Amino acid sequence: MSALTALLVSSALASDPSWVSAAPGQVNIGVYSGYPWHGVRAVYAPRGPLAAVAQVETARFQRTESRLGLQRPWSISGNWSVVASVAGGWVHQLGEVSRQGPQVAALVSVSRTGRVEPYVSIYNRQLFDLQPVQTVGISGTETVWTQTRFGSRGGSVGVRVPIRSQLCLDLAMQGGNIDAIFAIPSFSAGISWRTSP
């Protein structure tokens, strides 16, 4: 309880508590770890509200997803904010069920800005899995690539707690499905650092 109190007190001292998106000219870098996902995420807004986003995450180092995209925040109804992002990338999964191929993703997050920032996010990701299939013909063995589309949908509930003006704690719980198969809910803890705008 004392650790939580210290976090809340330190967040009240933060000069700029908004961690929805990077401000113009600002870089925001975050790392997170939990079960089973670990990852790193970087956001850069060169000018205006539109920002570039790069993310790499892995589930138990068996499935790796890398994405590059754009995001934009909107302020609505006072302290409430919405962030929407679209991205494209690549998925590579090892093990008995292999996956590899391009992925497109969309995410919407709603948060209440303030000294402590609760948020809810939903996402939709579409994987175009490419798998080699070997066929034996008159001319010998040939490799044909097949494509199968898999959808992953879900969301997260979390809270951001600014520790300093340039440092923020992020606690979250995620749920949904992966490649149209129900996934066990996951938990993560992360830390974000940002430059001065």
The residue extents of the domains of the chain are 2-14+73-194
Q: pLDDT, tens digit, for every residue of 168-191?
A: 999 999 999 999 999 989 999 999
- Assess contact for 83 and 21: CB atoms under 8 A: yes
Closest CA to 183 of 148, 149, 150, 153: 153
At 5, phi and psi to the nearest 5? -60, -40
The neighbouring-strand residues paired with 178 are 181
In CATH, 2-14+73-194 is 1.20.1250:
no
- Assess contact for 33 and 187: CB atoms under 8 A: no
Q: Residue 196 — pLDDT band, cuts 50, 70, 90? A: confident
3-state secondary structure of 22: coil
Q: Identify the pLDDT of residue 20.
A: 65
- Assess contact for 175 and 155: CB atoms under 8 A: yes
* Greatest alpha-carbon span in the chain: 75
CA distance 126 to 37: 18
138 pLDDT higher than 90: no
**Residue 116 carries which DSSP code?**
S
| Torsion over CA: 113, 114, 120, 121 (sign) | positive
CA distance 91 to 55: 12
Q: Identify the pLDDT of residue 21.
A: 75
- Residue 178 region by backbone torsions, left for phi larger than 0, else alpha for psi between -120 and 50, else beta: beta
CA distance 40 to 94: 20
pTM (two decimals): 0.82
User: Per-residue pLDDT averaged across 4-21, rounded?
Assistant: 42
